[in-house]
Every structure is written in structure tokens, then in C-alpha cells.
Amino acid sequence: MLRVGLTGGIGSGKSSVAARLAGLGAVVIDADRIAREVVEPGMPSLTAIRERFGPSVVSDDGILDRAGLGRIVFGDRAALRDLEAITHPAIWARTAELFAAAPDDAIVVHDMPLLVEAGMTGEYHLVLAVLTDTETRVQRLVEHRGIPEDDARQRIAAQADDDARRAAADVLLDNNGSPEDLATAVDALWQSRIVPFGEALRSGTRSRAATSAQSPPDPTWPAQAARLLARIGHALGDRVVALEHIGSTAVPDLPAKDVIDLQVGVRHLTEADGAAFVADLASAGFVRVPGVDHDNAKDGGTWPKRLHGSVDPGRVAHVHVRAVGSPGWDWAIDVRDWLRADPEARDAYAAAKAALAARHTDSGDYADAKEAWFGVADDRLRTWRAARQS
């Protein structure tokens, strides 16, 4: 099952995206609809709300007075916490039921307005955010929903801003154009990434870099890495000791292959060979790469590790699993930190990579060729490390 998180601020057009995805074949779980369901007449949550906030919030025919309840909890954090303590367990229980009821091969879209605010990025394989200019959103809320302009602006201001959504989302859908423009963008995303992602997840087919071509530095690489690490952390829980973004994409201003390298730290490497560990990472979208069990050490030996790869066709990523404090773990972090701290070393590495990429178009050959540069540079790295530790 491919889990897709869909978010966007009030008035952004998120519901239109959800409806389009449903029409294309996705199973849509609507968080707002569930929130309404759990407080319908006769539901235990409604009874608890009446007991906590008084009979005035429920009409004579047993329907929740949402506006009246809103006036009570708005600006009263204690009252809001009490309300959430009543409704949230029921909402999450119903959400879990709906996820469990979806077919194993389904693409499930969780329409979740507060995904960013709730810090839920790690729970999905892919997060989509619908972005629309504030003034356009205000206009839509006033004209289409009849919300007074001041109220519309207050509601928008109370939610996460677009910068937070950009950091949390893998895909941004611009909805400042026409409904037809939005539908076209959703259809293209469905065909080019979402459906192939679901197929790759079921088959366990990892994504590969087509060439060794270098990309200009991308300032979004760290945010992309953070999202991937959140998914790994969510999948593995306390089996993970540390999570790190490593490699060239972790070094500002360094050109790199558009491949995110991640380092997952475990207490003992044997833990990474457990069936549950491998299966849980695969379920999160990171499959084990067979036959890769070490790196070549700079002294001629080897450093044990395990390697997983992302199955997302839109984001190639390598996940290096190593024991925390092992030579391979320390070296990966030291190289990253050295290149971050030493512009001269960073520029020399960039030049070497450009030359090697021109000679080795195959990504495997290119990776092997880079080993020679690090062998020569290892003395400089050792000097830098010693100076930092003194």
C-alpha cells in the first residue's frame, strides 16, 4: 500500500486535488470527514463533549453546535486540549480502520489539513502540498463559503505557513491558476510518479541514477533528506540510534549527482540483518540492496555496512546502515564535515568529480573512480580531524 499525505491551507483547493485523485483511482481518507463522523448524534465523543462543555453545545435534536463549541475553545488552550483529548483518539482509531480496510495494492491518500502542524511527514511515502496565494485563498473563502474576510484571514494565519509546507512536502501543487490547470498537474503527477511509485513499492524495485552527471547545488537537498530520514525513523523506531544526511548533497555549494545519501546508525550491524528490520524499511520504501556489505577502507581493509535504496521514481536515495562509532560511520561524517568546513577541499573535490563524471558516464564506474581521490585526500582529512579534536 502506498501512503500519500495530502495537505494545504484552508481555501487552497486541497479538496479539489483529493477529488481528482479519487477519480483516478486512489482511496481517499478525509480527516475532516472523520472529525465530523466521530461527533455525530449517538457517538461517544459527542456525549463526552456535552459532559465537558455543557448541554448548550448540543441542540435539542442531538447535533453538535460547532460554532458555539468553537467560541468556547477559541483562545482557551486548556479547553482546546480537553476537546482534543476527547476527539483525537476516536479520529485516529477510525483513521486506522480505514487504512486497514484498503486493499494491499491500493494508493491511499490521507487528506490531512494539519499534517504539517502535527509533524506527520514521516508517516507517508509521499507528501503533497497544495499552495495558493493568500489573497486568492481569502477571496475563495469569502465568495464560495461565505466566511467574513477578517475570519478568513484569522483562519489562514492560525495554520502553518507555506514555507513550512514546502519543507514538509515532496511535491508542491500550484493552485493559483484555473481548475483545469490543477487537474492537468494532478493527472501528470499520478501517471509519472504516484502510480510508478506504488508499482515499485510492491515489486521492491529501487530507483537508480541514470548517469553520473553532476547537478548544480540544490538548496532543497537538506529538506529532502530530512523527510526521508523522518520516514526511516518512523519505520524503525528505537532500533535507530542516529540518522544523518551525508555525501555531497549534504555539503552546501557542492555540485553533486542528484542522489541523496543517508546514514542510519544502529548499535550492532547484526540488527540490520533482522527480518523485521529489512521488511520495515522495505515497507517504508527503502529496499535492501543484495551483495553490498562493505565499503573499501582507506587503509586497504573493509568497513562493514548494509545498503538500502529508495523505490520512489522521483527521488533516488541511498541508505547506508552502519554501526554508530564504527570506522565507516565516523569517516562518512568526518568527510561531510571537512568539506563543509574547508572551501578549498570542497572546490577540489568538485573539480575532481566533474572530471571523473566526464570520463565515466556509468554511475557505478564513476563511484569506483572517486575512491582514488579520497585515497589521496585522506591525509588532509586526518590532519583536519586531528586539528578539530585538539
- What is the pLDDT at residue 157? 85
Model pLDDT for residues 245-275, shown as the tens digit of each residue:
999 999 999 999 999 999 999 999 999 999 9
- What is the pLDDT at residue 363? 61
Angle formed at CA 192 by CA 307 and CA 228, multiple of 5 degrees: 35
CA–CA distance, 240 with 258 (Å, rounded to integer)? 25
Beta carbons of 49 and 39 less than 8 angstroms apart: yes
**CATH fold for the domain made of 2-203:** Rossmann fold (3.40.50)
Angle formed at CA 166 by CA 340 and CA 36, multiple of 5 degrees: 145
DSSP 363: H
Is 203 annotated as ligand-binding?
no
- pTM of this prediction exceeds 0.85: yes
Is 353 annotated as ligand-binding?
no
CA–CA distance, 75 with 72 (Å, rounded to integer)? 8
Is 291 annotated as ligand-binding?
no
Query: Between the CA of residue 88 and those of 45, 81, 124, what are the distances in Å?
Result: 9, 10, 19
- What is the pLDDT at residue 189? 98
Is 192 annotated as ligand-binding?
no
- What is the pLDDT at residue 170? 97
**What residue spans in the chain does CATH classification 3.40.50.300 cover?**
2-203
- What is the pLDDT at residue 321? 98
Q: Any alpha helices (H) in 146-295, and if so which ranges? A: 149-158, 162-168, 179-189, 195-203, 221-236, 275-283
pLDDT lower than 50: segments of the chain:
none
Pick the CATH number of 221-389 from 3.40.640.10, 3.40.50.2020, 3.30.460.10, 3.40.50.150: 3.30.460.10
| Distance from chain centroid for Cα 139 | 31
**What residue spans in the chain does CATH classification 3.30.460.10 cover?**
221-389
Is 326 annotated as ligand-binding?
no
Model pLDDT for residues 26-52, shown as the tens digit of each residue:
999 999 999 999 999 999 999 999 999
Q: Any alpha helices (H) in 76-172, and if so which ranges? A: 77-101, 134-145, 149-158, 162-168
CA–CA distance, 326 with 335 (Å, rounded to integer)? 14
Torsion of CA 232, 98, 6, 226, to 10 degrees: -10
